[in-house]
Structure 1
C-alpha cells in the first residue's frame, strides 16, 4: 500500500467520456483517485454516487475526482449513464494503475479466494505526492471523509 509522502505513480487511462486522464497533467491541484471494485455492484454504486453528489464541493476546493476500476470503457459508460455520475470513471483493463497503487490484491468472499481491486481512495497533492490514504471499509460516508481530509490538507498547505 502506498503511504503518505510517497510520490504518486503516474498513469494515463481512458475515461467514460471519450477522452483520457493523465495524473501528471493535473499537477498544481489535488486529485482524488478512488479505486473501486466493479461497475454495477451495490457498494460501488453507493460510493460513486456519494463522490458524485460531493463533486461541486470538491470542485470548489479545486480538487479533481476520478474513479478507477478494471472494467472497460463501455462498462463505465453504462454505469455512469445509469447513475449520472459527475466525475469521470477510468478504465484500467490492464491493471497498470491498480498494481502501481497496490490495490490489486487477493480477496475472499463466501470462502472463495480471487484477485480483485480493494476499495481504497488516495488524495494526491498538488506536487504529485500521496497526501491521504482512505480504506473504504465503510462505504457510506467514505466520500465525505475524503472531502473533509482534502479541506484540512488544503488549509494546512496555505
Structure 2
C-alpha cells in the first residue's frame, strides 16, 4: 500500500453513509472534498468537531466543497448522531476499517498506559482531481474546521 501523502491520489472507497446512502469518493471528482476521520460518535471532541464543520457547511458549499466525516460507527449510529446534534455534513461508516487502514488512521493508541487500536483524528483535503492537497494529523478540534475552510479557499483559488 502506498502511503497517503500530499500530491498522491486519495484512496477511493465505497462505504455506507448516513440515511442509507452509499458514498463513493470517486463520484465526488470535480469537487473539493474534506475528509475528516474521527474516533466515535457522541464523544465530546468528535461532537465538537462535527458541529464546527456543520456550522461552516454553507461556506464549504459556496466553494463547491463536500465535507465527509468518517468513523467506524454504524450507519444507524451516524443517523442518531446527526439527528441529536442537527448535523448537516455527510457521515460515512467504515465498520470494517478498510478506508481507515488505507488512509493510515487506524493506529495503536495509548491511554493511562493501556494500548489499544483506534482512529487518529486526521483530516485530508482532497482536490478536484482526487489528489491529496493537505493533511492534518493528530488534530486538535478548537479552530480546526476554520483552518480547513481557509485551506479549501486557497485550493479553490489556485484551481
Q: Give, in whole Å, the separation in 1 of the partners of 2:52 and 2:137.
A: 15
Aligned with 1:151 (options 140, 150, 153): 153
Instruction: Note the C-alpha offset of 1:135.
Output: 2.3
Aligned with 1:38 (options 18, 37, 40): 40
Q: Give the number of equivalent residue pairs.
A: 157
Residue pairs, 1:135-150, within 5 angstroms: 135-150=137-152
Q: Give, in whole Å, the separation in 1 of the partners of 2:42 and 2:89.
A: 16
Residue 22 of structure 1: aligned partner: 24
Residue 50 of structure 2: aligned partner: 48
Residue 4 of structure 1: aligned partner: 6
Give the stretch that moved more between structures: 135-144 or 91-100: 135-144
Q: Give, in whole Å, the separation in 2 of the partners of 1:135 and 1:49.
A: 19
CA contact (8 A) 1:36 1:119 kept: yes
CA contact (8 A) 1:72 1:91 kept: yes
Q: 1:114-148, CA deviations, whole angstroms, 9 ceiling, x for partnerless residues?
A: 00000000011100100010124321111111000
Instruction: Specify the SS of the correspondent of 1:17.
Output: helix
Q: 5+ residue gaps in structure 1?
A: none
Residue 129 of structure 1: aligned partner: 131
Residue pairs, 1:83-98, within 5 angstroms: 83-98=85-100
Q: Give, in whole Å, the separation in 1 of the partners of 2:144 and 2:138.
A: 6
TM-score normalized by structure 2? 0.96
TM-score normalized by structure 1? 0.96
Instruction: Note the C-alpha offset of 1:17.
Output: 1.5
CA contact (8 A) 2:123 2:139 kept: no
Task: Return structure 1 stretches of 4+ with deviation > 3 angstroms.
Answer: none
Q: Give, in whole Å, the separation in 2 of the partners of 1:77 and 1:89.
A: 8
